């Protein structure tokens, strides 16, 4: 006879994940929408005047979109490993942080490049 008893720690983790899942989907979707809008508006003028800036932006935008799509897949995936739920969602959170950090890091890189090019080199 099977008992339907569950581990209290597993139940607590599952409860926390349910509360974690919806905000992560919302934040990823909103940020992904901003990234896709930026890419759609930027791509028309890309690589016409500023090669270094556009290279940095294209790499970071592509990686950011890929990471955010991975986050959405992982957060909505119902086939996650039940024995390591915490590790699975911790890794998903890392992907999310990397996905939203990349555009800001690329902004800083472009800004530093422009400062060095315009003020230090000249």
One pLDDT digit (tens) per residue for the chain, 122 residues = 444 456 666 666 666 677 778 899 999 999 999 999 999 999 998 899 989 999 999 999 999 999 999 999 999 888 888 788 888 889 999 999 999 999 999 999 999 999 998 888 76
Euclidean distance between the first and the last CA atom of the chain, given in angstroms as a whole number: 81
In a domain, residue 3? The reply is no
In a domain, 2, yes or no: no
Q: How many domains does the chain have?
A: 1
Is residue 103 situated within a structural domain? yes
| Nearby residues of 61 by Cβ (< 8 Å), 6 or more positions away | 35, 38, 39, 42, 103, 106
Largest CA distance in the chain: 81
In terms of residue numbers, what domain contains 38?
A: 8-120
Whether 88 and 80 have beta carbons less than 8 Å apart is answered as: yes
């Amino acid at each position: 006879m099977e008992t339907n008893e569950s581990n209290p720690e597993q139940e607590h983790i599952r409860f926390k994940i349910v509360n974690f899942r919806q905000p992560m989907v919302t934040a990823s979707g909103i940020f992904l929408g901003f990234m896709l809008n930026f890419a759609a508006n930027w791509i028309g003028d890309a690589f016409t005047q500023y090669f270094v800036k556009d290279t940095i932006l294209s790499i970071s935008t592509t990686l950011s979109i890929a990471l955010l799509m991975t986050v959405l897949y992982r957060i909505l995936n119902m086939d996650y490993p039940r024995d390591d739920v915490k590790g699975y969602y911790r890794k998903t959170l890392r992907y999310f942080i990397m996905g939203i950090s990349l555009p800001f890091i690329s902004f800083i890189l472009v800004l530093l490049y422009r400062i060095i090019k315009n003020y230090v080199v000249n």
